[in-house]
Amino acid sequence: MIEFMGLYPEELKEKLSAMGEKPFRAGQIFSWLHKGASFSEMTNLSLALREKLAAAGIDQPVSIRETRVSQLDGTKKFLFALRDGNCIEGVLMHYHYGATLCVSTQVGCRMGCRFCASTLDGCVRNLTAAEILGQVQCANSTLDGEKVHNIVLMGSGEPLDNYDEVVRFLRLVSHPQGLNIGLRHISLSTCGLVPQMHRFAEEKLPVTLSLSLHAPNDSIRRELMPIANRYSMEETLDACRNYIEKTGRRVVFEYALVDGVNADEKHAEELADRLRGMQCHVNLIPLNTVKERNLFGVTENQVRAFLSVLEKRHISATRRREMGDDIEGACGQLRKKVMEEKP
């Protein structure tokens, strides 16, 4: 079965020609699919063509299985169903600068970060570009008038471990005949796959790169993230510097504060030394405690103390707002809970 939504217009043209259809239909079909339409809704196509398309492939590869809405801030957490029975999560947050959707790029994850719920059962499979896009279509279908304006690739999965489909997704979602979401409104978060970070810098896609740093030095980073055994912090920061140089965009460092591990003021000092002179921003967040692992978050006072060290050292930093705290907003938590409730 062809996943039509994952094809570029040129590829869609070729497929149509091969099916004995007029290539100019590709433009119509492309814009229908990217509006979230099913084949049966494509009313400017003949019924015969719609049936032929449905026999050859898939229109919308993702559907919403469950939605939870936060009473605190209106954040929506989706459990999306895929056609093979797997499910993934997405979170839609309402910020003053527009609706922001967090999408997944894999079913599960194989990076093994000790604090992350998404990786507990490993990686089941990569998502296709169409399945990443389908999450955006689903979120749009729940919005009145407004559309998803920003996307963060921070759901489950390691985007750079699914490189080709993620790059295809980025080109499709920003396509002028499709959703046309500006690449500058998209953030890609990685645990630090250094070779792929270098390759990604050459794609000339002006997305914001976020690096999950979570430590001021290699030894703490290795305690938390297996990837730190493969690539040193210096190599990883070099890949960030290269990204800044090639794209002209600042890099965002994600730093989850873990009580007794990386959250002391001396760690903030060390971090400031490492990041000095870099065009970057640090996002601090108290760790969301995952009960399976013995790692705990910190108090507001600890966040403030850490932040103030960075500020004193002129490192741009903020405390990331937590959204949807009452609905298992954090990465991997809802999927896990639902899988446990409904085995």
Catalytic residue among 109, 138, 280, 331: 331
**Binding mask of the shown chain, residues 269 to 308, with x at each position contacting ligand SAH by CB under 6 A:** ----------------x-xx-x------------------
Residue among 7, 49, 116, 252 that touches ligand SAH (CB under 6 A): 116
**322 tagged catalytic:** no
Cβ neighbours for 149, distance < 8 A, ≥ 6 positions apart: 97, 98, 99, 100, 181, 185
Footprint of ligand SAH on 162-191 (CB under 6 A): 189-191
Per CB under 6 A, does 88 bind ligand SAH?
A: no
Catalytic residue among 3, 89, 254, 328: 89
- Bridge partner residues of 98 (DSSP): 95
Q: How far apart are CA 126 and CA 107, in angstroms?
A: 6
Q: How far apart are CA 142 and CA 235, in angstroms?
A: 42
**245 tagged catalytic:** no
Report in angstroms how near the CB of residue 329 gets to ligand SAH at its nearest: 10
Look up residue 260 and give its amino acid.
G
CB–CB of 89/155 below 8 Å?
yes
Per CB under 6 A, does 103 bind ligand SAH?
A: no
**Binding mask of the shown chain, residues 210 to 249, with x at each position contacting ligand SAH by CB under 6 A:** --x-------------------------------------
For the sheet containing 87-95, what is the strand order? 62-69, 76-82, 87-95, 98-102, 150-153, 186-190, 208-212, 251-257, 280-286, 317-319
Per CB under 6 A, does 268 bind ligand SAH?
A: no
Report in angstroms how near the CB of residue 279 gets to ligand SAH at its nearest: 19
Q: Give the binding range for ligand SAH (CB under 6 A) out of 56-64, 69-77, 109-117, 134-142.
A: 109-117
- Tell me the DSSP string of 102-170: E--SEEE-SS--TT-GGGTT-EEEEPPHHHHHHHHHHHHHTSSS----EEEE-SSS-GGGGHHHHHHHH
Catalytic residues: 89, 331
Binding site for ligand SAH (CB under 6 A): 111, 113, 115-116, 154, 158, 189-191, 212, 254, 256, 285, 287-288, 290, 330-331
